[in-house]
Amino acid sequence: MDLLNLALCHRSYANETGAGTENNEKLEFLGDSVLGLVVSEHLFQELPDKNEGDLAKVKSFVVSEDSLSEIARAMKIDNFILIGKGEEFSGGRNKKALLADALEAVTGAYFIDSGFKNCRKFILSYIVDEINKVLENKHKKDYKTLLQEYVQRRFRTYPKYALVQKTGPDHDKTFWIEVKIKDKSYGRGDGKNKKVAEQKAASIAYRSLTGQPVDGDDD
């Protein structure tokens, strides 16, 4: 199996195929490290006035699951991933974690095949736009983290999330999450999973507390 095929071979496909078929997890491990190095070096060189904390925040956004999965979709990686029947049935081809992991695996394969210099060019070709989005404050924000940092500074406590309602059939449920800060409840957030619902609830609370717009990116 060549490197690119291996990079696109998910564990579920390898398990179903059997006969010693390898999966992309080791390439993903390698690609994650190479990606982190390239992004860190680029930020260090291009943003000399930023301190370590600022650089770490930018990096955390651009190498996040959300960011990498969107890049993977733009590259049409979702069309070529080899996944098992069960994973396919459960919508695995659209799962953010699976897509982000596949992009990291492709990056690892590129590094082995073409060396660090060429792999660096490849990474920067897809990551610089994401860095610019963060610097221009146009990126998708992690409102749970923003809310927690704000609440810790202002109230010396933590937001508390609670599931208050579930609606819909088992295959298409909607979750409703409420966030409380010092026993005060802020608007409920909804989503097809708890993670999305928590983000929406956090965005409502953060907007209420700071008066800042959510920019429509709290999905």
- Tell me the pLDDT tens digit for each residue of 152-209: 989 999 999 999 999 988 878 899 999 999 989 987 899 888 888 998 999 899 888 9
Domain termination site, one of 93, 109, 135: 135
Residue 184's φ and ψ, nearest 5 degrees, are -95, 130
d(CA 102, CA 88): 15
Nearest to 197 by CA among 171, 175, 172, 168: 175
32 annotated active-site: yes
Give the model's confidence band at 106: pLDDT under 50 very low, under 70 low, under 90 confident, else very high.
very high
Looking at per-residue pLDDT, the higher value among 65 and 125 belongs to: 125
Largest Cα span, the chain: 58
Tell me, yes or no, whether 218 lies in a domain: no
Q: Which long-range contacts (CB under 8 A, 24 or more apart) does 150-157 make?
A: 150/206, 150/209, 150/210, 151/181, 151/209, 154/209, 155/181, 155/182, 157/181, 157/182
- CATH code at position 79: 1.10.1520.10
Domain termination site, one of 98, 118, 135: 135
Q: Domain check: are 14 and 98 in the same one?
A: yes
104 annotated active-site: yes
Q: Domain check: are 86 and 168 in the same one?
A: no
Q: Domain check: are 152 and 71 in the same one?
A: no
pLDDT score of 92: 84
Q: Domain check: are 107 and 165 in the same one?
A: no
pTM: 0.69
Q: Domain check: are 81 and 148 in the same one?
A: no
Q: Domain check: are 41 and 106 in the same one?
A: yes
Q: Domain check: are 204 and 114 in the same one?
A: no
pLDDT score of 218: 45
Domain termination site, one of 106, 135, 164: 135
Q: Domain check: are 128 and 36 in the same one?
A: yes
Q: Domain check: are 121 and 41 in the same one?
A: yes
Give the model's confidence band at 77: pLDDT under 50 very low, under 70 low, under 90 confident, else very high.
very high
Q: Domain check: are 71 and 172 in the same one?
A: no
Residue 219 has pLDDT above 60, yes or no: no
Q: What 3-state class would DSSP assign to 156?
A: coil
In the set 87, 104, 130, 198, the catalytic residue is 104
Mean pLDDT, the chain, rounded, equals 89
Q: Which residues contact 17 (CB under 8 A, 6 or more apart)?
A: none
130-167 pLDDT tens trace: 999 888 876 667 788 888 888 998 999 999 999 999 99
Tell me, yes or no, whether 219 lies in a domain: no
Q: Domain check: are 18 and 80 in the same one?
A: yes
Q: By residue range, what is the domain housing residue 53? A: 3-135
Question: For the chain, what is the domain count?
Answer: 2
